[in-house]
């Protein structure tokens, strides 16, 4: 079942690089905070690298001014997410998290099968805004599109 507005973010662990591979759980990411999480089908893929991530990099300060944390996830390993973040000039504070086994995207029902492209199970392209781990807004893209989950659109719809 796909997560809905009003649902609580499920407890799942993700990974990132910080003095080695570190585990971070969703309560640590979301509890007591305002967070925009956006997911991409894959690091270094065209739309993700040319539009989706760069939009959040460009608008990062606008989110921070509103007291909102920004998190990017992909079904990739933490080393790929770190390299992608470095190559894209991701600012300190924009978290690049790995959902390597797709545990998070499966838990919220936003996984997709990209086996036809040789990519296996991946995240659908989406963004969500949560306040204290409760989903307030959800922006899920139709397959092959990039419109509603952009940084500009998310900013236009949140408090």
Catalytic residues: 48
Structural tokens at position 21? 């591979």
CA neighbours closer than 13 Å in the CB half-sphere of residue 4: 2
Q: What is the DSSP letter of 49?
A: I
Do residues 95 and 69 lie in contact, with contact meaning Cβ atoms separated by under 8 Å?
yes
Integer angstrom CA distances of residue 131 from 37, 77, 78, 94, 104: 11, 27, 25, 17, 18
Cβ(123)–Cβ(112) under 8 Å? yes
Q: How far apart are CA 38 and CA 105, in angstroms?
A: 11
SS3 129: strand
Q: Give the three-state DSSP class for 21.
A: strand
């Amino acid at each position: 079942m796909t997560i809905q507005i009003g649902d609580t973010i499920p407890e799942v662990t993700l990974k990132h690089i910080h003095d080695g591979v570190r585990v971070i759980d969703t309560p640590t990411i979301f509890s007591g905070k305002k967070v925009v999480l956006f997911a991409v089908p894959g690091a270094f893929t065209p739309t993700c690298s040319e539009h989706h991530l760069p939009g959040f990099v460009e608008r990062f300060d606008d989110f921070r001014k509103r007291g909102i944390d920004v998190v990017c996830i992909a079904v990739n390993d933490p080393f790929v997410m770190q390299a992608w973040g470095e190559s894209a000039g991701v600012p300190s504070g924009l978290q690049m998290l790995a959902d390597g086994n797709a545990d998070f995207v499966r838990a919220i029902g936003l996984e997709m099968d990209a086996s036809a492209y040789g990519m296996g199970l991946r995240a659908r392209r989406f963004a969500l805004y949560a306040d204290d781990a409760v989903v307030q807004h959800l922006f899920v893209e139709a397959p092959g599109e990039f419109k509603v989950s952009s940084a500009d659109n998310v900013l236009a719809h949140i408090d």
